[in-house]
Chains A and B, each alone.
Chain A
Amino acid sequence: MDAATPTPGAAAPPPALDTTNVTVKIKRYDPEKDARAYWAEYRLDVRPTDRVLDVLNQIKWEMDGSLSYRRSCAHGVCGSDAMLINGVNRLACKLLVRDLGSTINVEPIRGLDVVKDLIVDMDPFFDSYKSVLPYFVNDDPEPARERLQSPEDREIFDESTKCILCAACTTSCPVFWTNGNYVGPAAIVNAHRFIFDSRDQATDERLAALNQPSGLWRCRTAYNCTEACPRDIPITKQIEEVKRALLWRQA
């Protein structure tokens, strides 16, 4: 076709798929074999557009089958593969090699017990989540159709509905590292989800659950959670909104 005619839909081709050599250091621990965790090093050729998860898979499948980590959807919506990558909490499936340079350090997320390699015990995290009544409550008789809610009222809690419970936020929080009982940012986000839902009726109970010694007020506004969130939820802002809601109720 005529090269001078601009084509709707024409675009630059995707980047070339050349490979690059990387060094991947992974913090390994097998409770059946190791007294303590150690760093294992792997060198391999990968594509710049590979996800870190692809790199881990390549190591597991081609180099060392015993390497263990969680993964499922591989595109950032299931929350299985949160890990500490080059010092930052990220989802391994949402981070590309080209954004990391030639050395990649991978560790388990902090503050939860390591079960094996990159797998941590998630139960304390889910227990904190469950403590804030993270479910919709409305005891009025159900209408025949939907309960009405304006787009504006819906918008108020839109960001907090994005949470995938990956634990990247909570396990990046310095308060949580020193006090594992702290309910943590993820639980507060999920309380926010319902506190600001115009249809919900359990705000008082939820705020009371957060107004505990290891609750909301432990937050020191370090912003680590907001930076760690792979879904770009403005967590620190939401925690502040919940704090204000609690103060407003108490006033």
Chain B
Amino acid sequence: MPRAHKYDVIVVGAGGAGLMAARYAAQNKDVKVAVISKLYPTRSHTGAAQGGVGAALGNVSEDHPEWHAFDTVKGGDYLTDQDVAETFAHEVVDAVYELEHMGLPFSRTPEGRIAQRKFGGHTREFGKSAVERACYAADRTGHMILQTLYQQSIKDQVTFFNEFHVLDLVLEDGSARGVVAYELATGEIHVFHAKATIIATGGNGRMFKVTSNAHALTGDLTSIVWRRGLPIEDPEFYQFHPTGLYKIGVLLTEGARGEGGILRNKDGERFMERYAPSIKDLAPRDMVSRAMYLEIQEGRGVGPDGDYIHLDLTHIDAEIIEERLPDITEFARIYLGVDPIKEPVPVQPTAHYAMGGIPTTIDTEVVADGDGTVVRGLYAAGEVACASLHGANRLGTNSLGDLIVFGRRAGIEAAKYAASVEYEAMPAGADDRAREELHRIRAASGSERAVHIRKELQDTMMDNASVFRTEATLAKQVEILADLRARYAHVSVEDDGQVFNTELMEVVELGFLLDNAEQLVYAARNRTESRGAHSREDHQDRDDDRWLEHTMVYRNEDGSVRVGAKPVTLGKYEPKPRVY
């Protein structure tokens, strides 16, 4: 028998969105809340976010939420839902003040206000010039958000199930009834019965070879809900951050360019002047990543293989670098042996952020189709979700903003819902699927090793479905994924133990990654245009007549994949060519 638990609200994931959701759910005294995480909360990847959280506080220069909303819509290449962007740009201002009231140690202006700096795609007066909008705490803003929210959850005595790996979502008659989880320390299966379930499990960057993402970011819930028949929205829009450390992908914040850092090719040329004359190195990430790839393709990459670009900070005052960018300075020194104060740093675009995810309403309710049919009792927030704030390309700092704004909304909405309904029955055998999956893997006697399939997945996704794609590369990748899936059925594990069987969990995670890759590739092949982070060399123009719509990818019962659509919510900003 599984161990059984019952909570009004279950939060899956303990990063910024999950902790924010738990905090706001717990403020509703009528509901009991628990958080489940496969890591300790302080290990969540929110802690790796560096540069800042964008909010129009206007502490350094004049700024307005309307400008922020416009930048978000334009940055998202007009695929952003405009009602979401407007709400977000206003609410993020309050959310940042709330974090400060929770004690978050922001860097400060001389007047003692929250310090702000420039970031890619942040502009004044609807695109005129760069503006200081990123509120930051040195270059460890995400770390401070994660720590602050965890600290407050201790104060609030939130219940945590740490190192519990969620394996399934219980979904019955259009409502979520809870989740099934595997306790790493004991190998026991637990069933969590809930009135409301909030999914806040982050990204899936580990499907790519070079990524800024933690090992833990294997797209677990974007796979689980898909297997349960729910769609994934806009997975083809996957962001490559321009400045990952060469080969290893450890991120160097865009704040480095916000402080004046310059990208240079092998001739030392500041090539962004050619691609984005008005804001140059502070153009949005999709544009900068593409420009870097083009420079490399055209033979102007740096290094013996000509396969990287230089991030040059050497002209910036050493004190500013040490004070505002201490962590990334250390990363460059440790991992590449390069001192950014004295020499430029080798960088390349690195897989970073999923703009798409589990589709939700503006109130974070998960929807089951393109018509917006709500799944009762199911909510999603943060990178795993797609309320469509980011559209086709996310602006720097809007991920942390997304966490706090939509994490808060998820907590409030889920608690309100849970307080208003009775528990719906937990079906018998709710844990059967998870048990069968684990049993199948443990019993497999094949000679396949997970590492080989994972490596091939990551290499080929990088080659065929990253910054540039074509029908040919995507068709090839569909075949490769089918082959990898067939081989995956024969992966076996050596470890037959119950205690911390991390090998078993890695195999489960690989299955999740394969699903995520399929979602992305099928959606990318379907969309025959270029928009934001989705760049098709065989369809180079944006096509608003045909493609100003969201993708919805479904898995059919027989395992095949179906691609549908959902309308974009437009508003006062008319789609225009995207120039900076």
**A and B assemble together:** yes
List residues of chain A with CB under 8 Å of any chain B CB: 1, 7-15, 30-33, 49, 51, 60-62, 64-66, 68-80, 94, 96, 115-117, 119, 122, 126, 130, 134-138, 142, 144-151, 154, 157-158, 161-165, 194, 197, 199-200
Contact between B497 and A33, CB atoms less than 8 A apart: yes
A7-B48 in contact (CB<8A): no
Residue of A nearest to B250 (CB): A75
B215, B267, B495: the one contacting A66 at CB < 8 Å is: B495
Measured CB to CB, the nearest residue on chain A to B312 is: A9
| Residues of chain B with a CB closer than 8 A to A70's CB | 43
Would A151 and B143 be within 8 Å (CB), given that A33-B497, A135-B155 are in contact? Answer: no
Segment with Cβ contacts to A, from B97-105, B278-286, B351-359, B374-382: B97-105
Chain B residues positioned under 8 Å from A75 (CB to CB) = 48, 248, 250, 331, 335
Contact indicator B151/A72 (Cβ below 8 Å): no
| Contact between B502 and A68, CB atoms less than 8 A apart | yes
By the criterion CB–CB under 8 Å, are A134 and B151 in contact?
A: yes
Q: Closest approach, in angstroms, between the C-beta of A65 and any C-beta of chain B?
A: 4
Q: Determine which residue in B40, B107, B250, B336 has the highest number of CB atoms from chain A within 10 A of its CB, and name it.
A: B40
In the complex, chain A residues whose CB is within 8 Å of the CB of B346: 11, 14
CB distance from B491 to the nearest CB of A (A): 10
Least Cβ distance of B326 to chain A in Å? 9
Which of B110-118, B513-521, B538-546, B558-566 binds A?
B110-118
Q: Which of B103, B147, B500 contacts A116 (CB under 8 A)?
A: B500
Interchain Cβ contacts under 8 Å between A and B, 27 examples: A1-B267, A9-B312, A10-B266, A13-B303, A14-B246, A14-B336, A61-B451, A62-B451, A75-B48, A75-B248, A75-B335, A76-B334, A77-B327, A79-B43, A80-B39, A94-B334, A115-B185, A115-B499, A135-B152, A135-B155, A136-B103, A146-B101, A149-B112, A154-B105, A158-B105, A164-B143, A199-B103
A77 and B155 form a contact (CB under 8 A): no
In the complex, the answer to whether B103 meets A200 with C-beta atoms within 8 Å is yes
A60 neighbours in B (Cβ, 8 Å):
502-503
Distance between B328 CB and nearest chain A CB, rounded to angstroms = 10
Residue B137 lies at the interface, judged by CB distance under 8 Å to chain A: yes
Contact pick for A164, options B42, B100, B449, CB 8 Å? B42
What are the 9 closest A-B residue pairs judged by CB atoms, nearest first?
A136-B103, A148-B112, A9-B264, A61-B451, A66-B495, A135-B151, A65-B503, A65-B494, A7-B268
The reply to whether B42 and A142 contact each other, CB–CB distance below 8 Å, is no
Query: Which B-chain residue is minimally distant from A150 (CB atoms)?
Result: B112
A136: chain B residues within 8 A (beta carbon): 102-103, 148, 151-152
Name the residue on B nearest A94 (C-beta).
Answer: B334
B310 and A11 form a contact (CB under 8 A): yes
Is B45 a contact partner of A78 (Cβ separation < 8 A)?
Answer: yes
Q: Which residue of B lies closest to A130 (CB)?
A: B154
Indicate if the CB atoms of B267 and A7 lie closer than 8 Å. yes
Instruction: Give the distance to chain A from B298, nearest Cβ to Cβ, in Å.
Output: 15
Selected from A68, A138, A150, A165, the residue in CB contact (under 8 A) with B103 is A138
Interface residues of A, dominant DSSP:
loop
B214 at the interface (CB under 8 A from A): yes
> Given the interface contacts A14-B337, A73-B214, does A78 sit within 8 Å of B43 by beta carbon?
yes
Q: Is B343 an interface residue (CB 8 A)?
A: yes
Query: A61 to B337, Cβ gap below 8 A?
Result: no
Whether B39 contacts A135 by the Cβ 8 Å rule is no
Interface residues of B in 319-371 (CB under 8 A from A): 327, 331, 334-338, 343-344, 346
Alpha-carbon distance between A182 and B103 when the two chains are bound, in angstroms: 27
- Docked-complex contact B494 and A64, CB < 8 angstroms: yes
How many angstroms between the C-alpha atoms of A63 and B106 in the bound complex?
A: 45
Q: Are B113 and A161 in contact (CB under 8 A)?
A: no
Contact B495 A9 (CB under 8 A): no
B163 → chain A closest CB, angstroms? 9
Contacts of B215 in A (CB 8 A): 71-74
Q: Is B577 at the interface (CB under 8 A from chain A)?
A: no
A30→B499 contact, CB < 8 A: yes
Inter-chain residue pair count (beta carbon < 8 A) = 186
- Chain A residue numbers with a CB within 8 Å of B100 are 146-147
Residues of B within 8 A of A14 (CB): 246-247, 303, 336-338, 346
* Beyond known contacts A9-B264, A135-B151: 6 more, CB 8 A cutoff: A9-B302, A78-B39, A80-B40, A119-B500, A136-B103, A149-B108
B180 CB–A CB distance under 8 Å:
no
Interface size on B, residues (CB 8 A): 77
The answer to whether the Cβ of B179 comes within 8 Å of any Cβ in the partner chain is no
A142 touches B101 (CB 8 A): yes
Q: Hey, which chain B residues are within 8 Å of A115, CB to CB?
A: 185, 499-500
Q: Does B47 contact A (CB under 8 A)?
A: yes
Which of A8, A64, A80, A142 is packed against the most chain B CB atoms within 10 Å? A8
Q: Is B493 an interface residue (CB 8 A)?
A: yes
Are B497 and A78 closer than 8 Å at their CB atoms?
A: no
Convert B38-76 into 0s and 1s, putting 1 for each residue whose CB lies closer than 8 angstroms to a CB of A. Answer: 011011110110000000010000000000000000000
Report the bound CA distance from A163 to B45 in whole Å: 15
- Chain A contacts of B494 at CB under 8 A? 64-66
Contact, CB under 8 Å: A161 / B103: no
Instruction: Known contacts A72-B39, A148-B113; decide if A61 and B450 are in contact (CB<8 Å).
Output: yes
B304 at the interface (CB under 8 A from A): yes
B25 within 8 A of A: no
CA distance A194 to B501 in the complex (A): 38
A146 in contact with B103 given A13-B304, A32-B498, A162-B140 (CB within 8 Å): no
Given A30-B497, A60-B503, A148-B113, residue A72 in contact with residue B336 (CB < 8 A) = no
| Residues 85 to 129 of chain B near chain A (Cβ within 8 Å) | 97, 100-103, 105-114
Kindly list chain A residues whose C-beta atoms are within 8 Å of the C-beta of B498.
32
Contact string against A for B residues 264-277, beta-carbon threshold 8 Å, 1 for contact and 0 otherwise: 11111000000000
B101, A147: Cβ atoms under 8 Å? yes
Smallest CB separation, B48 vs chain A (Å): 5
In chain B, positions 240-259 with a C-beta closer than 8 Å to chain A are 246-248, 250
A79 to B110, CA, bound (A): 33
Indicate the member of B97, B216, B493, B499 with the most A CB atoms within 10 Å: B499
Complex alpha-carbon distance, A150 and B108, angstroms: 7
A10 touches B268 (CB 8 A): yes
In the complex, B198 has a CB within 8 A of chain A: no
Q: Determine if B207 is an interface residue (Cβ-Cβ < 8 Å).
A: no
From A193, which residue of chain B is reached at the shortest CB distance? B105
A32 to B185, CA, bound (A): 12
Nearest A residue (CB) for B42: A165
Is the beta-carbon distance between A145 and B105 smaller than 8 angstroms? no
Minimum distance in angstroms from A250 CB to a CB of chain B = 26
Identify the closest chain A residue to B503 (Cβ): A65
A72 contacts B111, C-beta separation under 8 Å: no
- From residue B270, how far is it (CB to closest CB) to chain A in Å? 9
Contact of B493 with A65 in the complex, beta carbons under 8 Å: yes
Q: Are A146 and B500 in contact (CB under 8 A)?
A: no
Question: Are A9 and B97 touching (Cβ within 8 A)?
Answer: no
In the bound assembly, the distance between CA atoms of A162 and B140 in angstroms comes to 8
Asked whether B43 lies within 8 Å of A9 as measured between CB atoms, the reply is no
Closest chain A residue, CB of each to CB of B346: A14
- Contact check: which of B152, B303, B449 meets A61 at CB < 8 Å? B449
Indicate if B144 sits at the interface (CB-CB under 8 A): yes
Query: Which B residues touch A31, using CB under 8 A?
Result: 499
A197/B103 contact (C-beta < 8 A), A9-B264, A151-B110 known: yes
A135 near B103: Cβ-Cβ < 8 Å: yes
Residues of B within 8 A of A30 (CB): 497, 499
- Take A11-B343, A75-B331, A135-B155 as given contacts and tell me if A154 and B45 are in contact as well, using a CB distance cutoff of 8 Å: no
